[in-house]
Amino acid sequence: MLHITKAAALRSSALAAAVAVVGSAAAAQGVTITYVSGAVGAAVENFDRLVAPWEERTGNDVVLVPMPASTTDQFGQYRLWLAAQNGDIDLYQTDVIWAPQLAEHFVDLTEAAAGIVDQHFPSIVESQTVNGRLVALPIFTDAPALYYRTDLLEKHGAEVPTTWAELTETAQRIQDAERAEGNSEIWGFVWQGNAYEGLTCNALEWIKSFGGGQIVEPDGTISVNNPQAVEALELAASWVGTISPEGVLAYQEEEARGVWQTGNAVFMRNWPYAYLLGNGEDSAVRGLFDVAPLPVGEGEGATSAATLGGWNVAVSRYGRNQEVALDLALYLASEEAQKQRAINEGNLPTIMSLYEDPEVLEANPYFERWQEVFLNAVPRPSAPTQNAYNQVSSLFWSAVHDVLSGNQSAADALEVLEADLEDLKGDGWQ
Amino acid sequence: MTTTATGAAAYAPDRGETGLQEQRARAAFWFLAPMLLMLFFVAAWPLLRSIWFSFTDTTLNNLYGGEWAGFQNYLTWRELPSGRIRWGGTLADPAWWNAVYNTVRFAVISVGLETLFGLLIALMLNAEFKGRGIVRAAILIPWAIPTIVSARMWGWMLNDQFGIINHMLLSVGLIDSPIAWTARADTAMIAVIVVDVWKTTPFMALLILAGLQMIPRDMYESARIDGIHPVRVFFRVTLPLLKPAIMVAVIFRLLDALRIFDLIYVLTPNSSATKTMSIVARENMIDFNRFAYGSAQSTLLFAIIFLFVTLYIWLGRVDLTGEGRR
Amino acid sequence: MTARAIFWNTMFYIAVAIVVVVAVFPFYYAVLTSFKTGTAIFRVTYLPDFGNLNWGNYQSVLSGRNFPRSVANSVFIATVTVIAALLLAVTASYALSRVRFRGRGLLLMTILAVSMFPQIAVLAGLFELINFLGLYNTPWALILSYTIFTLPFTVWVLTTFMRDLPVEIEEAAIVDGASPWVIITKVFMPLLWPALVTTGLLAFIGAWNEFLFALTFTITETQRTVPVAIALLSGASQQEIPWGPIMAASVIVTVPLIVLVLVFQRKIVAGLTAGGVKG
């Protein structure tokens, strides 16, 4: 493990002080800042627009390095680059779950952000604090929604489902009816079933909503092998090939959105970014859908569960222009940038006051309802499992993928998973 | 210079020529040195470092701070308070054995099919017919396409909703609903094998064709005059004479198949049904922050390949260097 | 011709047709897809619609982002790799093929063994080395690491080739007392050209197609090679995975290779046979 040397600590606090004193004026140096981020939808174009005011104000340039949307693929590459202590990337857009694993490579932002952290939701700021160091600033948060087709529900006289059982039934009924009318491409429900981090999110929601815990509890206990979890996975497995296409086992967010946005799905589980894209000019479902919280499971402790997502910006310790990069990071986390992001991309802000902003609410009318959803969102067990999180998640999604593809019964898969996780845990997570 | 120093001059030290021979040997050393130095730096040294890492607890973040850990990354055990013995390390890791199984299955099936199809195509190209040039050009196309590109092309053709493969099979009536080829655990490996066979059969065909063309024509001629059935000729004459060419082609393909990475990384990422040794080793080294553990797996892969080749050469008496030909 | 012969002849040509169609179809279909945009992509068609060719995907790939830059990177890296490998290989192959010394067979086997190294087995060590030399995220990192498979291959093929050259050509020079260096440059080089072109071409294709090292040792979009750029191509579209641009990019990088391969068909077959190595 790298230890933060005293010199480095001094440097970063001096740097923070400099920024605090001189503000963004210190950044007017005409340098190029490289920002790396996964790119979904129209993220590339939107990012150019997003940073334009900052570029104009400071006279610096921002270059975006687009990466595949899969957070799993991004993480491996970032870890490698950071381990190489490479200075070609100044800012990393980091997933909410990465903080403990990459903390040592990022500049401590505690002092630089001292004046603004109060504007953000405390739980989100806390998730990015590792051993007292604030390693990344939140730029947007995420909690998935159930997208549903208002026109189809109305046509077939269905209510918005509140339980998974209702969803299954409604999706099947509308799918059958629509197909009988010749709409052969229609599917009931699309979601993310590819073997990757996104499946961990989906499956965590099913299990949590059935009262089956959250894989590894905050105190480090492995809880995943229980009857409710089995029930949840069995229900999900029953969707594949009935209300969901078999290909859902290879879908990530963008594939699901592809089916949805061409008008070929009644329901979709996806993140808020799909809301504005679905209302875009070339969308087949423009104005024909709305969102609701994800359905509730059955049994004791059943609830509606949404996995907490969200992205942050972190300053690399190896960047060549850390002061300027820090200034850009502060801008990206600021109210101005988050507002623009909310309006252009439909990302959920992490700044509390934006949930009362009329312009934001006009673009995303459902945000008002959503504050509650993500404040109660389930975190993935990245905090308790620390450095082992990626393995935990990989074991979990592999087991779930196996169940979904019918290779194993849910009960068997979870029993084996529990044993695997126990082996991984050993004497304790570290 | 003696009159006998014709053919032997370049090869064997002749009496009275030791001076010249020594000079040549010295020059040879200096001619070889740059290449050997280069290979040492890019191949031997990195390999030795990887093997060294596998015996330490090195992490990606601290490449130089790893401490000796013995065989911990390979196999370790520990008695739990209950008296149960818990095994650890790669050799006790089901994910590793799954990867070994996947890799071997992939290598054997795909190379087997490639050899079979390659042989058939080579026989076809060995016959005289109109348009042979066009056929040979056509089969070179899959080979020329970069692996990543062919993975992308096939990924698109195998797409469950819009892919042309499903479209074809549906319209012929072979299947009644679209198959998610790359997603389903039971078809993912088939998809990978199909793409690999498509891409590499041309290579096999060309190697075997070259072997075929070395078989003297008069052999077939005399067999024909003797009235021996062509199938018999194939099994009695052609195949035995082709064996060396096929053996060499198969070994090269097997080595390539055993280390496969890029095709699977792009076509079926993360699917445990297709994870191979290379994929798993990289995953541990980078994604899972178990650098030393991943190094142990890559060392094992190296050892497996090394063993495989040695056995193959020894058992098959394959003459790779071509030294025996003279 | 008897009916039987006609039957078998027909069967033969049917088999030929199947082989050709299977070999060419995926590429054909990629070309077909690359000319479609919007929702037309999702409709399966088997024949091109010449009245309706849409160059939009090509435009967006060539004008947008850094794809042309990736092509330039790949060309540069592959070229330098090939030149370096050939330079080192020519002298080494001469020594290996024309001079008899102890341990030559073993050395040849060792060199061949290097070309069989699984890339993953040297990845960790190479990562350290490249980092140590400060080459990370530069073309030199790839040029250095590609040497691991281009160099053994070129040495191998050139050695086989030189060994098959008649002894007599060397003799006169030896009689005249020419040094080995003179022999290589004056006697062998002119004869070697065909072999150099073949091996160079195969090494070029190998370097052009490599993926794992390129993925591991590059970071920024301006340093990516073509395979990495294609594997990571995503994002710049509103409609899910940009299949159109991906297919256009694939066609762009494949066409030059196919042309090269078809032009040098015979030489490549000869080189493959000598090296027995997949490019």
pLDDT per residue over C51-84, tens digit each?
A: 777 888 888 888 766 789 999 999 999 999 999 9
CB contact under 8 A, A39 and C234: yes
Give the SS3 label for residue A33: strand
Q: Does A76 touch chain B (CB under 8 A)?
A: yes
User: Is the predicted pLDDT of residue B1 greater than 60, yes or no?
Assistant: no
Query: CB-based contacts of A230: which residues, under 8 Å, 6+ apart?
Result: A212, A410, A411, A414
Q: What is Dmax (Cα atoms) for chain B?
A: 86
Q: Among C42, C216, C241, select the one facing A80 at the smallest CB separation.
A: C216
Dump the DSSP string for A90-106.
-EEEEETT-HHHHGGGB
Name the average pLDDT for chain B. Answer: 84
Q: Which chains touch B (3 or more CB pairs under 8 A)?
A: A, C
User: Is the predicted pLDDT of residue A12 greater than 60, yes or no?
Assistant: no
ipTM over 0.90: no
CB contact under 8 A, B289 and A423: no
Q: Are A379 and A308 in contact (CB under 8 A)?
A: yes
Give the whole-angstrom CA distance, residue C210 versus residue A240: 37
Question: How far is residue B288 CA from its own chain's centroid?
Answer: 27
User: Is the predicted pLDDT of residue A20 greater than 50, yes or no?
Assistant: no
A-chain residues within 8 Å CB-CB of C236? 39, 42, 44-45, 66
Average pLDDT over residues A228-244: 95
Residue A91 pLDDT grade (very low, low, confident, very high; cuts 50, 70, 90) = very high
Per-residue confidence (pLDDT) for residue C55, from 0 to 100: 86
Per-residue confidence (pLDDT) for residue B14, from 0 to 100: 46
Of B79, B96, B287, B290, which to mutate for an interface test with A (greatest number of A Cβ within 10 Å)?
Answer: B287
Name the average pLDDT for chain C. Answer: 85
Domain A6-135+309-375 identical in fold to domain A145-307+380-425: yes
**Which string of b and e fits A301-325 if b means at least 16 CB within 10 Å?**
ebebbbbbbbbbbbbbbbbebbbbb
* DSSP label at residue B59: B
Residue B4 pLDDT grade (very low, low, confident, very high; cuts 50, 70, 90) = very low
Over residues B105-122, the pLDDT tens digits come to 999 999 999 999 999 999
Q: Among B143, B148, B322, select the one facing C230 at the smallest CB separation.
A: B148
Give the whole-angstrom CA distance, residue B125 versus residue A358: 73
Over residues B185-212, the pLDDT tens digits come to 788 999 999 999 999 998 889 888 888 8
Average pLDDT over residues A313-331: 94
CB contact under 8 A, C167 and B266: no
User: Is the predicted pLDDT of residue B279 greater than 90, yes or no?
Assistant: yes
Residue A311 has phi, psi (to 5 degrees) of: -125, 155
Residue A140 has phi, psi (to 5 degrees) of: -160, 160
Residue A177 pLDDT grade (very low, low, confident, very high; cuts 50, 70, 90) = very high
Give the whole-angstrom CA distance, residue B155 versus residue A27: 46
Q: Which chains touch C (3 or more CB pairs under 8 A)?
A: A, B
Over residues B5-57, the pLDDT tens digits come to 333 334 444 444 567 777 777 888 888 999 999 999 999 999 999 999 999 99
Q: What percent of chain B has pLDDT over 90?
A: 38
Q: Among B42, B146, B259, select the one facing C120 at the smallest CB separation.
A: B259
User: Is the predicted pLDDT of residue A1 greater than 60, yes or no?
Assistant: no
C-chain residues within 8 Å CB-CB of B45? 125, 129
B-chain residues within 8 Å CB-CB of A193? 183
Strands A91-95 and A309-315: antiparallel
Residue A267 has phi, psi (to 5 degrees) of: -125, 150
Domain boundaries, chain A: 6-135+309-375, 145-307+380-425
Domain boundaries, chain B: 93-289
Question: C67-225+246-275 has which fold?
Answer: MetI-like fold (1.10.3720)
Average pLDDT over residues B125-144: 86
Residue matched to tokens 């990530």: A252
Q: Which segments in chain C show pLDDT lower than 50?
A: 235-239, 277-279
Question: A6-135+309-375 has which fold?
Answer: D-Maltodextrin-Binding Protein; domain 2 (3.40.190)
Q: Report chain C residues touching chain A, CB-CB < 8 A.
A: 38-39, 42, 65, 127, 131, 136-137, 215-216, 219-221, 231-232, 234-241
CB contact under 8 A, B183 and A259: no
Measure the N-to-C terminal CA separation of chain A; round to a whole number of Å: 12
Question: B93-289 has which fold?
Answer: MetI-like fold (1.10.3720)
Higher-pLDDT residue of B86 and B193 is B193
Q: What ranges in B40-146 are assigned the alpha helix state H?
A: 45-54, 94-126, 132-144
Residue A27 pLDDT grade (very low, low, confident, very high; cuts 50, 70, 90) = very low
Strands A61-67 and A32-38: parallel
Query: Number of residue pairs across B and C with CB atoms under 8 Å?
Result: 290
Q: Does A89 touch chain C (CB under 8 A)?
A: yes
Q: Does A427 touch chain B (CB under 8 A)?
A: no
Residue of A nearest to B269 (CA): A195
Q: Could you give the C-alpha distances from B119 to A380, B115, B239, in angstroms and in order?
A: 53, 6, 10
Give the whole-angstrom CA distance, residue C22 versus residue B165: 12
Residue A399 pLDDT grade (very low, low, confident, very high; cuts 50, 70, 90) = very high
Rg (alpha carbons) of chain A, rounded to whole number: 22
Give the number of other Cβ atoms within 10 Å of residue A372's Cβ: 11
Which CATH number describes the domain made up of A145-307+380-425? 3.40.190.10
Give the whole-angstrom CA distance, residue B41 versus residue C135: 14
Mean pLDDT lowest for which of A277-291, B83-97, B299-313, C130-144?
B83-97
Element (H, E) at A269: strand A265-270
Task: Name residue A265's amino acid.
Answer: A
Strands A187-190 and A91-95: unpaired
Average pLDDT over residues A3-31: 47
Over residues A124-158, the pLDDT tens digits come to 898 899 989 999 999 999 999 999 999 999 999 99
CA distance B79 to chain C (A): 32
* CA-closest candidate to residue A250, choices C44, B271, C10, B29: B271
Please count the helices (runs of H) and the strands (runs of E) in chain C.
Answer: 13, 0
Higher-pLDDT residue of A255 and A51 is A51
Average pLDDT over residues B290-312: 91
Q: Are B255 and B244 in contact (CB under 8 A)?
A: no
Give the SS3 label for residue B219: helix
**Which string of b and e fits A196-218 if b means at least 16 CB within 10 Å?**
bbbbbbbbbbbbbbbbbbbbbee
Q: What percent of chain B has pLDDT over 70?
A: 91
Query: CB-based contacts of C218: which residues, under 8 Å, 6+ apart?
Result: C137, C141, C142, C224, C225, C228
Please count the helices (runs of H) and the strands (runs of E) in chain A.
Answer: 18, 11
Give the SS3 label for residue A413: helix
Structure tokens at A35: 């920002």
Average pLDDT over residues A189-199: 92
Per-residue confidence (pLDDT) for residue C230, from 0 to 100: 87
Residue A236 pLDDT grade (very low, low, confident, very high; cuts 50, 70, 90) = very high
Name the average pLDDT for chain A. Answer: 88
Over residues B145-172, the pLDDT tens digits come to 999 999 989 999 998 878 899 999 999 9
User: Is the predicted pLDDT of residue A23 greater than 70, yes or no?
Assistant: no
Give the whole-angstrom CA distance, residue A260 versus residue A272: 14
Per-residue confidence (pLDDT) for residue A95, from 0 to 100: 92
User: Is the predicted pLDDT of residue A219 greater than 70, yes or no?
Assistant: yes
